[in-house]
Amino acid sequence: MSVSGTTQAPQHKFAPLKNDRLLRALRFEPVDTTPVWMMRQAGRYLPEYKATRAEAGDFMSLCRDTARATEVTLQPLRRYDLDAAILFSDILTIPDAMGLGLYFETGEGPKFKYTVRRQSDLEQLPTLDVNDSLDYVMRAVTSIRKELNGQVPLFGFSGSPWTLATYMVEGGSSKDYRYTKEMLYNKPEFLHQLLEKLTVAVTDYLDAQIVAGAQVVQIFDSWGGALGHRQFIEFSHAYNQRIVSALKLRHPTVPVVLFTKGGGLWLDVQAESDADALGLDWTMPLDRARKILTERQRQLTKQHKKIQRSKAIQGNLDPATLYGSPETIRAEVKSMLDSAYALGDKTGYVANLGHGITQWVNPEHAKVFIDAVHEYAL
């Protein structure tokens, strides 16, 4: 894989980190309590977010406004005792920067004005200079990191090449991935060309976020679970693996989390990547995940004749749990943490939802979830 390589010496001085609980857990170091954050924790379930978005005018204007993107990133940290912040942005910024015209229809999710289904569409896609076309993201990362003042670590993120490709080919979200899967089985070489291009862009994009101040990054393979087993390895995992390897080569101490929704079936495959942690949705029991990863660690250690570190895990409460009563939420959190620690190891785990928090959740129920995680005795 050829990448343009955006790495440069960090240009900013940031305050020392006061709460490194999440980073310690990812390194399998002792923690005083379980670290927790939520995917989409800055978003539509918070009234203060809705107010800020209304001021910005629309979603992408909010993303491009450094001050407001910083504000909405920090809003959940004022409400909750979270162990990480995550950059407020969208997984589709890369295809938007490639000129596909990202827009949002009320109640319908993201859409693109243009799709990539023909060779001529592919040839028109530019090779991104992420520090130019996506400079607003890097400005937001640096601004957020400064405003955090060392309170908690900051996540950067990107969509995976496969997930980005599905949006670019379908023109939006999809239930059956008709055009993308037709391409996969009918014109696989075309799809590989698109994935190659996206792999370069995602690598450089996450690299630039780290240089701008992100202390940990996550790859969202949101639609990886829609693939068959062999197709997941060829069209999703292989590209994710290359991105993670490139990032770890450039930034060896920066943790990388790989989250594949519906990816529990492929934990043994993903364990071969250089990712520090694997995110899980609610369909995979955490104790089973630990067993699979521990066994795979043993196999890889024997195969390579060198000790291979196991992967930390993250997740996996069903987001719909937060519709339940506080008592139900606390009971489900306890069950989740009991499962996470069933094998006896009291670190190497980050609590989270199994996917993003939904817009209909009562903000007070999110607080119950977060507090219940911290109150659980290790």
* Ligand-binding site membership of 107 (annotated): no
* Ligand-binding site membership of 230 (annotated): no
Which residues face 155 on adjacent strands? 86, 216
> Distance of alpha carbon 38 from its chain centroid, rounded?
11
* Ligand-binding site membership of 44 (annotated): yes
The pLDDT value recorded for residue 3 is 46
Say if residue 11's pLDDT is above 70: no
Indicate whether this model's pTM tops 0.75: yes
Contacts for 276 with CB less than 8 Å, ≥ 6 apart: 26, 27, 255, 256, 257, 311, 312
Asked if residues 71 and 78 have their Cβ atoms less than 8 Å apart, the reply is: no
> Distance of alpha carbon 48 from its chain centroid, rounded?
23
Burial group, residue 288, by CB count within 10 angstroms (0-12, 13-18, 19+)? middle
The pLDDT value recorded for residue 295 is 92
Q: What is the pLDDT of residues 41-51, one digit of tens each?
A: 999 999 999 99
Say if residue 167's pLDDT is above 50: yes
Residue-averaged pLDDT of the chain: 94
Mean pLDDT of 204-222: 98
Confidence grade of residue 336 (pLDDT, cut at 50, 70, 90): very high
* Ligand-binding site membership of 90 (annotated): yes
Asked, as a colleague might, if the bond just before 316 is cis with ω within 30 of 0, I would say yes
The pLDDT value recorded for residue 307 is 72
Q: What is the pLDDT of residues 53-90, one digit of tens each?
A: 999 999 999 999 999 999 999 999 999 999 999 999 99
* Ligand-binding site membership of 42 (annotated): yes
The catalytic residue positions are 40, 44, 53, 90, 167
Thinking of the domain 21-375, which architecture would CATH place it in? Alpha-Beta Barrel (3.20)
Say if residue 8's pLDDT is above 90: no
Sheet containing 277-279: give its strands across: 85-86, 154-159, 216-221, 256-260, 277-279, 312-314, 349-350
Cα–Cα distance between 260 and 351 in angstroms, integer? Answer: 16
Put residue 172 in one of left, alpha, beta given phi > 0 → left and psi -120 to 50 → alpha.
Answer: left
**Cα distance from N-terminal residue to C-terminal residue, the chain:** 43
What does the chain come to in residues? 378
* Ligand-binding site membership of 8 (annotated): no
Contacts for 207 with CB less than 8 Å, ≥ 6 apart: 5, 6, 7, 246, 247, 250, 251
